[in-house]
């Protein structure tokens, strides 16, 4: 329950805010805070005011749920201004994560004390907005323009030592007792006769305008490259830059105007959707029932790209790892790769060599699978072939303890079938890591028919320890991510055979905000992988399915992308990034001629429409079949594992923003030409009929 109360202790007024779980600044918090400030401010017996928010954290920012809605009550900016102009010393006592509006409240106080593990930040940029309660004006006054812009453009959480060193915090407390810390600091300030100290009047860090101008110009040009598609980073810089030449009240008005522009931007909707979507992923039925097991010892089978990546992800999280490879040569190769990765991290200063040694001490690589006997979880990452995987699992069934969880890192195969060779299939699960597994955040947790709730709960706990973004998926060919990928890849090749150039398609997707175009991704992953999948699926393909052979022709040349220095693009020393392979266009033309297609031209919009329609089409199917629990889970998979722009919220959110009626119309139009591929899914028809969107299913 939200509560803002104030009490008087001697000559100090104490305001305590409570709005669990993170003390977000909702309308009622703002109202309560303003009320307390007014009352305490008018009380002549009071000489100082302390603002604290006992509980998990000091105010973690504005209540994000209120954005875009009409809510009553004072705006935070007004509350902050009122705090700053009080004629009594105001202390903010911080702990936890005072972020966004929370730090803005703290900066409008005259002094700040913080508990030892406090982290502060203005992460609004990650939500597509800017600090709209004076943050763009007060932070530069406390720590200087360069650091303030760095904080606001990255949204990073700054630890207490750095915050103290740079003037954001005045004192570091000895413990976490935020009320006691605030009161004792206020007493000390009164004893020292410390005066009120409005942040708006501090100017020593912003008076060297020539130097600051240069700094801003540099940051501006870097941001143009780093955040070229984004709106709010540029608004943040603008607010700081323009504010320097305005009176403080005018600068605050200007910040407010820019804040409103951000709030109205669709990027804000997309980013805030991503924020909540990433918090919804752990709301899965098995977690309510299952009991997670704390793991310490992990086994990894296979020392290839995935096996080494998974091993490093596990070691980084402090697990001991036994890796199994077939022979000494393969072990040597895996070890070299792992060593090289950590050496690079040491060289870049990310870890010390002691840390590297400590991490490597967690690792053993052997050929004998009997060494897995004491493992609590074994993750199989061998070649993507059902027979091989079944052999491995049958062996694990005899070697590992009965409690050991057996996981497959398969990216497409049927986990139920893999589990069928294990006596107790309730301990079998899919853990689909993404490459490079030590870096990529996404982890699909694939729940098979007989997987137990405890096994699922343990997998989610593992993901948490590995700092992964876990998304629950049911079993189907390719799970959530690769199944959607298969659909739009096929749709993309249809477009190419119909006349679109792969390079045009990639450009459209990059301009849309995707990290890479489809054909760049194929080159990165290796064309041979998709080729093997197509061969595996060939016997099951319906004779009337449209099958485009362009990709096979490319692979038949041995052009698998980056690993062979040639694919849709050319790679190698002296070749500029993204140099198109000119022979691709010839292959496309030959194939069109062979099948008798007269090429037509595609506009950017036509390419985008088909790409999105294919993604949404398969996303809906996945929901219909209950492979994904909710549309936002599909969004999380795509924004965390497939380079879909986070600021567009993910494919399902983007479809909501475009309008499901429009998406359905497109699918209906495409299905006139190819009903086998595009027959509109029931759920989508229902949603449109009932005037609902995907968000209504979240
Ligand atoms: N508003 C509303 N709800 C919030 C929230 C916020 N600012 N911050 C967190 N929550 C909710 C989460 O959605 C979650 O809800 P459920 O339990 O229902 O899923 C719950 O609080 C706990 O959050 P986490 O699971 O993220 O908890 P955590 O301990 O892992 O992390 C945190 C805590 C670091 C504060 C993290 O939640 C976070 O980063 N929150 C956002 C902070 C932020 O961006 N603040 C700026 C807001 S914008 C602003 O302030 C604009 C301005 O200028 C006025």
**For residue 275, which atom of ligand 1 is closest to its CA?**
13
Check pocket membership of 405 for ligand 1, CB cut-off 6 A: no
Catalytic option among 11, 78, 84, 104: 104
- Pocket lining: 481 vs ligand 1, CB cutoff 6 Å: no
Instruction: Report how far residue 26's alpha carbon sits from residue 641's, in angstroms, rounded to the nearest whole number.
Output: 33
Q: Whose CA is nearest to atom 29 of ligand 1?
A: 22
Strand partners, 321: 298, 363
115 CB near ligand 1 (under 6 Å)? no
Q: Does the Cβ of 124 fall within 6 Å of ligand 1?
A: yes
Q: Which ligand 1 atom is at minimum distance from the Cα of 62?
A: 50
User: What is d(CA 412, CA 280) in angstroms, rounded to the nearest whole number?
Assistant: 25
User: What is the DSSP code string of 651-684?
Assistant: HHHHHHHH-HHHHHHHHHHHHHH-HHHHPPPHHH
Task: Please give the number of the atom of ligand 1 that sits closest to the Cα of 276.
Answer: 13
* CA angle (174, 180, 183) in 5-degree steps: 110
pLDDT of 166: 98
CA distance 466 to 288: 21
104 is a catalytic site residue: yes
Q: Which residue has a Cα nearest atom 24 of ligand 1? A: 279
Peptide bond into 21 cis (omega under 30): yes
Q: What is the pLDDT of residue 533?
A: 85
CA of 288 to the centre of ligand 1 (A): 22
The set of residues, in sequence order, having a beta carbon less than 8 Å from that of 195 and lying 6+ positions away, is 89
DSSP secondary structure string for all residues of 181-235: HHHHHHHHHHHTTPPP--GGG--TTS--HHHHHHHHHHHHHHHHHHTTT-SHHHH
Encode 545-560: b = buried (16+ Cβ within 10 Å), e = exposed: eebbebbbbbbeeebb
List the structure tokens of 397. 């069934």
Asked if 420 contacts 436 with a C-beta cutoff of 8 angstroms, the reply is no
Is the C-beta atom of 650 inside 6 A of ligand 1?
no
Q: Whose CA is nearest to atom 26 of ligand 1?
A: 279
Positions in the chain short of pLDDT 70: none
Q: How far apart are CA 243 and CA 254, in angstroms?
A: 7
Main-chain dihedrals φ then ψ at residue 569, nearest 5 degrees:
-120, 170
Instruction: List the residue whose alpha carbon is closest to atom 12 of ligand 1.
Output: 279
* Strand 377-380, strand 363-366: pairing: unpaired
Question: Half-sphere exposure (CA, 13 Å, Cβ side) for 528?
Answer: 11
Angle made by CA atoms 181, 185, 191, in degrees to the nearest 5: 150
Using CA atoms, how far apart are residues 644 and 515, in angstroms rounded to an integer? 7
Mark out the alpha helices in 281-379 (DSSP H runs): 285-289, 305-316, 328-347, 353-360
- Is 55 a pocket residue for ligand 1 (Cβ < 6 Å)? no
**In angstroms, rounded to a whole number, what is the distance separating the alpha carbons of residues 60 and 453?**
33
Question: Cα(271) to centroid of ligand 1, in Å?
Answer: 13
The tokens for 289 are 């029932």
21 lines ligand 1 (CB under 6 A): yes
Nearest CA to ligand 1 atom 44: 123
**Based on the number of CB atoms within 10 Å of its own CB, is 251 exposed (0-12), middle (13-18) or buried (19 or more)?**
buried
Q: How far is the CA of 60 from the centre of ligand 1 (A)?
A: 6
> Are residues 113 and 168 in contact, defined by beta-carbon separation less than 8 angstroms?
no
For ligand 1, atom 45, the nearest C-alpha belongs to: 61
Is the minimum distance from the CB of 133 to ligand 1 under 6 angstroms?
A: yes
Mutate to test the pocket of ligand 1, among 33, 61, 134 (most ligand atoms within 8 A of CB): 61
| C-alpha 66, offset from chain centre | 22
pLDDT score, position 536: 84
Is residue 25 within 8 Å of 15, Cβ to Cβ?
Answer: no
Give me ligand 1 centre to Cα 142, in Å.
Answer: 25
The Å distance, Cα 162 to ligand 1 centre, comes to 22
Indicate which atom in ligand 1 lies nearest the CA of residue 135: 53
**Cα four-point dihedral sign 633, 639, 644, 650:** positive
Q: What is the DSSP string of 551-588?
A: HHHHHHTT--BGGGTBSSEE-STTPPTTEE-HHHHHHH
Question: Could you tell me the distance, in angstroms and rounded to a whole number, from the CA of residue 134 to the centre of ligand 1?
Answer: 20
Q: Could you give the domains of the chain?
A: 4-266 (3.90.226.10), 291-473 (3.40.50.720), 481-626+629-697 (1.10.1040.50)
| CA pair distance 30, 49, nearest whole angstrom | 17
Q: Helix crossing, 604-624 with 479-498: angle to 10°?
A: 150
| Residue 594, helix vs strand vs coil | helix
Encode pLDDT of 112-141 as tens digits: 999 999 999 999 999 999 999 999 999 999
C-alpha of residue 485 to centroid of ligand 1, in Å: 31
Q: Tell me, what's the pLDDT at 384?
A: 87
- Residue with CA at minimum distance from ligand 1 atom 10: 22
CB neighbours of residue 90 within 10 Å = 30
Residue 635 corresponds to which tokens in the numbers above?
A: 């969004």
Catalytic residue among 124, 255, 325, 376: 124
Q: Is 263 in the pocket of ligand 1 (CB under 6 A)?
A: no
76 Cβ closer than 6 Å to some ligand 1 atom: yes
Cα of 97 to ligand 1 centre, how many Å? Answer: 10
Q: Tell which one of 26, 56, 60 to mutate to probe ligand 1, the residue whose CB is within 8 A of the most ligand atoms.
A: 60
On whether the CB atoms of residues 40 and 75 are closer than 8 A, the answer is no
Q: Is ligand 1 within 6 A of the CB of residue 120?
A: no
Kindly report whether the peptide bond that precedes residue 436 is cis, defined as omega within 30 degrees of 0: yes
How far apart CA 653 and CA 675 sit, in angstroms, is: 25
Whether 101 is in the pocket of ligand 1, judged by its Cβ within 6 Å, is: yes
In ligand 1, the atom with minimum distance to the C-alpha of 56 is 29
Which residues are bridge partners to 364 per DSSP? Answer: 322
**CB-based contact 93:57 (threshold 8 Å):** no
- Is 288 buried (19+), middle (13-18) or exposed (0-12) by CB count in 10 A? exposed
pLDDT at 529: 84
∠ CA 590-595-600 to the nearest 5 degrees? Answer: 75
What does DSSP assign to residue 354? H
User: How many CB atoms lie under 10 A from the CB of residue 361?
Assistant: 10
| 622 backbone dihedrals φ, ψ, rounded to 5° | -65, -35
Nearest to 647 by CA among 657, 661, 633, 660: 657
Give the integer Cα–Cα distance in Å for 683 and 676: 17
> How many other C-beta atoms are found inside a 10 Å radius of the C-beta of residue 579?
11
Residue nearest to atom 47 of ligand 1 (CA): 61
Q: So what's the pLDDT on residue 135?
A: 98
């Amino acid at each position: 329950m939200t509560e803002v109360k104030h009490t008087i202790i001697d000559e100090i007024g104490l305001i305590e805010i409570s709005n669990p779980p993170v003390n977000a600044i909702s309308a009622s918090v703002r109202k309560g805070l303003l009320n307390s400030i007014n009352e305490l401010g008018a009380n002549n017996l009071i000489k100082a005011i302390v603002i604290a928010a006992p509980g998990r954290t000091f105010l973690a920012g504005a209540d994000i749920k209120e954005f875009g809605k009409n809510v009553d009550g004072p705006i935070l900016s007004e509350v902050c201004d009122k705090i700053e102009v009080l004629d009594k010393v105001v202390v903010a006592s911080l702990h936890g994560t005072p972020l966004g509006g929370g730090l803005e409240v703290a900066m409008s106080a005259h002094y700040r004390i913080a508990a030892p593990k406090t982290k502060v930040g203005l992460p609004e940029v990650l939500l597509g907005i800017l600090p709209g309660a004076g943050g763009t004006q007060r932070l530069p006054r406390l720590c200087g323009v360069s650091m303030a812009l760095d904080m606001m453009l990255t949204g990073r959480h700054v630890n207490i030592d750095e915050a103290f060193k740079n003037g954001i915090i005045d004192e570091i407390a000895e413990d976490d007792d935020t009320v006691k810390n605030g009161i004792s600091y206020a007493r000390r300030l009164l004893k020292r006769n410390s005066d009120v100290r409005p942040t708006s009047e501090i100017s020593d860090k912003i008076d060297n305008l020539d130097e600051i101008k240069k700094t801003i110009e540099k940051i501006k040009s870097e941001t143009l490259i780093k955040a070229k598609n984004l709106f709010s980073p540029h608004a943040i810089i603008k607010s700081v830059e323009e504010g320097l030449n305005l009176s403080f009240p005018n600068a605050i008005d200007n910040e407010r105007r820019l804040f409103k522009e951000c709030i109205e931007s669709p990027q804000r909707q997309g980013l805030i959707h991503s924020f909540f979507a990433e918090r919804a992923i752990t709301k899965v039925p098995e977690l309510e029932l299952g009991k997670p097991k704390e793991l310490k010892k992990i086994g990894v089978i296979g020392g290839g790209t995935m096996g080494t990546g998974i091993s490093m992800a596990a070691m980084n999280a402090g697990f001991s790892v036994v890796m199994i490879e077939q022979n000494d040569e393969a072990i040597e190769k895996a070890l070299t790769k792992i060593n090289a990765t950590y050496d690079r991290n040491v060289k870049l200063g990310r870890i010390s060599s002691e840390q590297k040694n400590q991490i490597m001490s967690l690792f053993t690589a052997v050929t004998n699978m009997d060494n897995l006997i004491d493992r609590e979880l074994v993750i199989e990452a061998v070649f993507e072939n059902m027979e091989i995987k079944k052999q491995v699992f049958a062996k694990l069934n005899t070697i590992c303890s009965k409690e050991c969880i057996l996981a497959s890192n398969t990216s497409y195969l049927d986990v139920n079938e893999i589990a069928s060779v294990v006596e107790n299939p309730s301990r079998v699960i899919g853990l689909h890591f993404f490459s490079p597994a030590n870096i990529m955040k996404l982890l699909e947790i694939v729940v098979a028919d007989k997987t137990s709730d405890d096994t699922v709960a343990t997998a989610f706990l593992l993901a948490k320890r590995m700092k992964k973004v876990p998304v629950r998926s049911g079993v189907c060919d390719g799970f959530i991510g690769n199944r959607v990928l298969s659909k739009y890849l096929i749709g993309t090749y249809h477009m190419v055979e119909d006349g679109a150039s792969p390079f045009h398609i990639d450009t459209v997707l990059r301009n849309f905000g995707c990290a890479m175009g489809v054909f760049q991704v194929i080159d990165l992953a290796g064309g041979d992988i998709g080729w093997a999948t197509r061969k595996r699926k060939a016997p099951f393909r319906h004779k009337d399915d449209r099958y485009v052979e362009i990709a096979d022709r490319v692979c038949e040349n041995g052009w698998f992308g980056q690993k062979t220095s040639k694919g849709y693009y050319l790679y190698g020393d002296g070749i500029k990034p993204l140099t198109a392979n000119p022979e691709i266009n010839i292959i496309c033309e030959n194939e069109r001629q062979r099948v008798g297609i007269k090429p037509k031209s595609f506009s950017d919009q036509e390419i985008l429409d088909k790409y999105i329609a294919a993604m949404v089409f398969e996303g809906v199917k996945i929901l219909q079949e209950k492979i994904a629990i909710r549309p936002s889970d599909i969004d999380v998979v795509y924004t965390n594992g497939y380079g879909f722009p986070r600021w567009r919220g993910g494919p399902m959110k983007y479809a909501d923003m475009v309008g499901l009626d429009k998406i359905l119309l497109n699918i209906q139009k495409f299905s006139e030409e190819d009903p086998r591929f595009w027959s509109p899914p029931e759920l989508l028809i229902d949603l449109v009929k009932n005037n609902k969107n995907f968000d209504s299913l979240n």
